[in-house]
A = this chain, B = another copy of it.
Amino acid sequence: MSAAGEGDHAYNPYTRSCPSRRLLRELGELWSVLVFGALYDGPLRFTEIARRVDGISTKMLTQTLRTLERDGLVSREYYTESPPRVTYALTELGRDLADVMDALEKWAVGHMDEVLAAREAYDAEHAG
């Protein structure tokens, strides 16, 4: 079929050198997922995100936000005030992805008990 307008790229993350692999690695990163979740309900300032994502360093938050901004997933708004104010928000593209991220997060939270139980069972069986 190779529909028209789709371009002839066949991105395939199962291949070493395909850029989609790097993107997938990037999106799956914990900090990315949590930042998406933090911005899910609306724009936030740098410090507000940091407060919600407990334990993230300014370095990692900056790095994560820059990467997401460069990928067109997050937008940055700078207000020249005193002190300066900067807000981050999901772009249209980012909101689209946010639903997937949210699903992943919800899955982890929602099935934590089952996973924990599975681990116990596994450890018990592989002890003797």
Contacts and interface: CB of A to CB of B under 8 A. Distances in A.
A61 interface: no
- Decide if the interface of chain A is mainly helix, strand, loop or mixed: helix
Contacts of A21: 30
Contact of A93 (B16, B23, B114): B114
A54 B101 CA distance: 25
Contacts of A59: none
**Size class of A's contact patch?**
35 or more
A33 interface: yes
A103 B73 CA distance: 17
A72 B121 contact: yes
Contacts of A104: 24, 27-28, 100-101, 104
A79 interface: no
B118 A70 contact: yes
Given A28-B28, A107-B100, A19 B112 contact: yes
A37 B53 CA distance: 29
Given A28-B30, A118-B72, A53 B14 contact: yes
A72 B115 contact: yes
Which 4 A-B residue pairings sit nearest by Cβ, starting from the closest?
A: A72-B118, A28-B28, A25-B30, A16-B55
